[in-house]
Structure 1
Amino acid sequence: MNLQLESTEIVVILALVFISVFILLASLSIPVFGEQKKVRRRLQQRLGEITPESGQPSIGSLLRARYLKKLNPLERQLESLPGMESLARLIEQSGSKVMAYKVVVLSLLLSAAGFALLLFVTKYWPVALAVAAVLIVAPYLRLLYLRQKRMLEFEAQLPEAIDIIKRALLTGHPFSESLNLVAEGLEGPVSLEFGITYSDLSYGSDLRRAMLGLLERVPSVTLMAFVTAVLVQKETGGNLAEILSNIGSVIRGRFRFQRRVKTLSAEGRLSAWILMLVPFGLFGLIYFTTPGYMETLVRSERGHQLIMISFVLMLVGALWIRRLLRIEV
């Protein structure tokens, strides 16, 4: 009986450690430049304002309607549920190829399985509920991470893409053909997105809609500078190659500053990891070397309450540290 009790206690402790480390990773693994979410929201709002001005539906809505027509009736109903379009946009921006409703089903299955397993093993429903809450958001956090990674990769490749477009314009190529040169000459998300934009132009879409569609798929301030320059030059005229040369220099300077800020904030991130992980290491060391010292904390109801309170306070600390490390560039 004692062995069973000790095993249950170990499972409870490991589950709490899993929850805390997962929250820590979700908080501190996000890049130091944390204003991207606000920027994307402003970009999406601006795109929503621009699209009605053009009097035509956006490229994204047309592609969404075409995508739904290819599905069977059941999948079409599931994909048409509230929130599925936003989730599908997140999946597309992350570079994944899974349907939105399958992500929801996976989240529910993971949450239900985790809750049932922890409740069966520990008989302690708060821990099972906490693990279920973590597992239900795990697929979404994974998609957010993949989107962030893809956006950073796109922005890192964008200066080179702008240079290719500039050289193509200087040699006499039309703008649409310069986009095709980017798609053929580079790899990764830049090649894919510029290839889609080139296809839009080739199939008769006007430049404004094609460029706004690119910005809708890749909501980035860096890309917005490029799109704005192209659209303004289309309306007012001017030397687009020279404008793109200046924009490329500005983007490279911004990246250099970002890397500088990331280097200067590395010490803060390391301190955050140490502050958050030392309590777990110290607890494990004391528990396995002198179990009697932790017996009251682990076995008593009051001890369980203190452990839960400490985990909540550590979560607050992790979120506060993350806020301190967010630097807008």
Structure 2
Amino acid sequence: MSTLLTMPMLGAVGETLLLITLAVGPMLALYGVFQLVQDLRGNSKKRIASRLQGRSARAAGTTKITAEDLRRQTKAATGLLGGMLVNMSVTKRFQKVLEQANLAWSAPKVLGNLTITAAIAFAALVMVGAGLLVGLGVAAAVYVLPVYYCVLRRKRRLKKFVNQLPDVFELLGQALRAGHSLASGMQLVANEMPDPAGTEFGRVFQEQNLGLKIEDALTNLAERMDILDVRFFVTAVLIQRQTGGDLSEVLDKIGSVIRERIKLRGTVMALTAEGRLSGYVLLALPILVFIALWYINREYALVLIEHPTGQMMLGTACIMMVMGYFMIQKIVNIKV
């Protein structure tokens, strides 16, 4: 195998990489500068537009924004490819994921940049001679891994938010019993609780303080944090504001139910820990065996990479490993 890696081949590969870098590098640099200038222009335009709209609203008593203005502002903020992706349902769902993960990013811009980066990585690997499968695998990894990071961060933030809810409801109940209003209680939560509870309830207080009805601000919270306990809380507040009643007692009961659910979830996690560990071991064991085989008998391992039948076997094994892992996770992940 060492005779195959001759100096002329290394020189050809290096020359190809150099040509790709010279061709793609300036394009990426120009695209980055274009995006930066566009962002700066968009921010300045937003400031000027907000001032003009504020003056016109004070003069005429109303401000009207047309759908064409919104489309133009969105295209200016997200770029050409992002403007094409902005109306897709996948983009809208990913934008909600970014909001729940507390990432101040634009979903169309993120997906557009990932698409361009994945396409460049695929083209570069194919031109180098790495093969279509390797190019597709790397391009998929370039596209999927950042999205997976956002989803994982969202999951962790929502879990932390649920764990904070009992303390939030206890603090709100104490504030209401002390004579404070619901808005003042939310301000207290925003000041005393860390992120994400403090951030989200602080946003509710700011929306209510800027003129939005408390019912609408709480509804926005329920839509933003797609959690069953939050919907219970919002429903209880809306009913109490219409019919009356002791809201502090309701909050205490909801907080008690959430605490018991958290304890039960911990028990379930402990009982299913063995199944989750089995999934991790079954996923990692074939990879570790292949790495060991690569160092022990490399020629035997190369059959799986170079021979078409070996490539098919390797791809089938990877697919079955991933399917088995997700099946095990489906069994051990019990919703409480």
Common fold by TM > 0.5: yes
Which residue does the alignment assign to 2:214?
207
Cα 1:264–1:141 change in 2 (3 A) is: same
Aligned 8 A contact 2:78 2:109 in 1: no
What secondary structure is seen at the aligned counterpart in 2 of 1:247? helix
Shift of 1:247: 0.8
Equivalent-residue separation in structure 2 for 1:72 and 1:328 (angstroms)? 38
Cα 1:295–1:248 change in 2 (3 A) is: closer
**1:71-122: per-residue Cα shift (whole Å, max 9, x none)?**
5862267458313443332211111122223211331133123323433455
Which residue does the alignment assign to 1:217?
224
Aligned 8 A contact 2:122 2:139 in 1: yes
Shift of 1:158: 1.3
Which residue does the alignment assign to 1:97?
104
Cα 1:86–1:106 change in 2 (3 A) is: same
Equivalent-residue separation in structure 1 for 2:205 and 2:303 (angstroms)? 68
**1:257-304: per-residue Cα shift (whole Å, max 9, x none)?**
111111111111111111111111112212211234435434322212
Equivalent-residue separation in structure 1 for 2:283 and 2:129 (angstroms)? 25
TM superposition score normalised by structure 1: 0.75
Cα 1:220–1:309 change in 2 (3 A) is: same
Aligned 8 A contact 2:97 2:151 in 1: yes
Equivalent-residue separation in structure 2 for 1:140 and 1:245 (angstroms)? 37
Equivalent-residue separation in structure 1 for 2:323 and 2:240 (angstroms)? 48
Cα 1:76–1:325 change in 2 (3 A) is: same
Cα 1:179–1:295 change in 2 (3 A) is: closer
Q: Which has the higher contact order (CA 8 A, sep 6+)?
A: 1
Which residue does the alignment assign to 2:247?
240
Moved more, 174-183 or 84-93: 84-93
1:267 correspondence with 2:269: no
Equivalent-residue separation in structure 2 for 1:87 and 1:81 (angstroms)? 11
Q: Select the residue among 181, 185, 195 that pairs with 2:202.
A: 195
Q: Select the residue among 181, 191, 195 that pairs with 2:188.
A: 181
Q: Select the residue among 57, 67, 87 that pairs with 1:82.
A: 87
Q: How many residues align?
A: 271
TM superposition score normalised by structure 2: 0.73
Aligned 8 A contact 2:170 2:252 in 1: yes
Which residue does the alignment assign to 1:142?
149
1:321 correspondence with 2:328: yes
1:125 correspondence with 2:132: yes
Which residue does the alignment assign to 1:151?
158
What secondary structure is seen at the aligned counterpart in 2 of 1:205? coil
Which residue does the alignment assign to 1:258?
265
1:259 aligned partner, one-letter code? G
Cα 1:81–1:197 change in 2 (3 A) is: same
Shift of 1:310: 1.3
Equivalent-residue separation in structure 1 for 2:315 and 2:98 (angstroms)? 34
What secondary structure is seen at the aligned counterpart in 1 of 2:293? helix
- Identity, % of aligned pairs? 30
Shift of 1:248: 0.7
Q: Select the residue among 307, 315, 322 that pairs with 2:314.
A: 307
Which residue does the alignment assign to 2:119?
112
CA RMSD of aligned residues (A): 2.7
Cα 1:312–1:151 change in 2 (3 A) is: same
What secondary structure is seen at the aligned counterpart in 1 of 2:123? helix
What secondary structure is seen at the aligned counterpart in 1 of 2:104? coil
Shift of 1:127: 2.4
